[in-house]
Amino acid sequence: MTPQYTREDTRQLFQELRRTEDPQYREALARLHLPLVEYLAKRFKDRGEPLDDLIQVGSVGLLKAIDRFDLERGVEFSTYATPTIVGELKRYFRDKGWAVRVPRRLQELSLRLNKVVAQLTQDLGRSPTVPEIAKYAQISEDEVLEALESGQAYSTTSLDAPSGEDDDAPMRLDRLGEDDLRIDNLEYFASLAPLIEKLPERERTILYLRFFKGMTQSTIAERVGISQMHVSRLLTRILEFLREGMEGDVEY
């Protein structure tokens, strides 16, 4: 993403910035990495927000990354800045709530079904089926499907998941590989580990329980103390984040 020649420029600019604290170096760094912001902002462009606004928002993330970057860390600045910029963009959408225009009727139905699902899960001792939900809520299966679909729309636009800044407790990576799968032997592990570390603790737990422990979403929901639909949304986002990270990172 970042052309080869800017790496050395970047390093020099950071050295000058840290030495002199002169804002002109900060601006130069921001200008140099604007293409990165534009590239990342474009990924969010089909969510109904003007691209210019998104670039603006992403630039805030870039400036944060510039202020926090530590040259000694030995990673490329673009690698470091990407999750911060993406995090800023996601926060922007999250703060807007239902960014995709979901009719009020569906929003309410979706929230109501959340309760129905929780109740049925408890009664049945397993996740309910759509016909069961429809019967219990006295609505048609089509309406249930529509509401669930809109719940997913909500998820893809309001991303409260990985901001890249909540990594208070770094994941015990050895914990991931303890039983059924020998993760440490797998080739993907090296590129995945840094991304997993960027996930907030709760998301890391959900990832681990679903994919490495084989728990169902309902079981995880109960364990983590959130609704099944929320687990579903978080899993969607986590996988999206990991995919983007593995593609977008310059590391491999």
| Site residues (vs other proteins, CB under 8 A) | 46, 117, 124, 126-133, 141, 144-145, 148-149, 152, 181, 185-188, 192, 210-212, 214, 216-218, 228, 232, 235-236, 239, 242-243
CB of 149 to other proteins, least distance (A): 7
The one-letter code for the residue type at 196 is I
Measured CA to CA, the distance from residue 195 to residue 204 in angstroms comes to 10
Supply the minimum distance, in Å, between the C-beta of residue 203 and other proteins.
15
- Residue 82 near residue 64, CB atoms below 8 Å: no
Task: State the Cα–Cα distance between residues 183 and 187, nearest whole angstrom.
Answer: 9
Closest approach, Cβ 190 to other proteins, in A, equals: 11
What is the smallest separation between the CB atom of 77 and other proteins, expressed in angstroms?
A: 26
Is 169 exposed, middle or buried, given 0-12, 13-18 or 19+ CB atoms closer than 10 A? exposed
Spell out a b/e string for 13-27, using b for 16 or more CB atoms within 10 Å of the CB, else e. bbebbeeeeeeebbe
End-to-end CA distance of the chain: 12
Residue closer to other proteins by CB (options 103, 131) is: 131
| Of 11 and 45, CB closest to other proteins | 45
Q: Which is nearer to other proteins, 71 or 181 (CB)?
A: 181
Output Rg (C-alpha) for the chain, integer angstroms. Answer: 21
Minimum gap (Å) between residue 108 Cβ and other proteins: 19
- In the complex, the smallest distance separating the C-beta of residue 144 from other proteins, rounded to whole angstroms, is 8
Q: Which is nearer to other proteins, 65 or 196 (CB)?
A: 196
Minimum distance, C-beta of residue 251 to other proteins, in the bound complex (Å): 15
Q: Which is nearer to other proteins, 18 or 131 (CB)?
A: 131
Place of tokens 């020649």: 5
> Whole-angstrom Cα distance, residue 251 to residue 80?
11
Tokens of 14: 């950071």
Closest CB to other proteins among 22 and 141?
141
> Which residue number, 6 or 228, has a Cβ lying nearer to other proteins?
228
What letter does residue 163 receive in the DSSP assignment?
A: -
Calpha distance 211→191 (Å, rounded): 17
Determine the Cα angle at 16 with ends 14 and 17, to 5°: 60
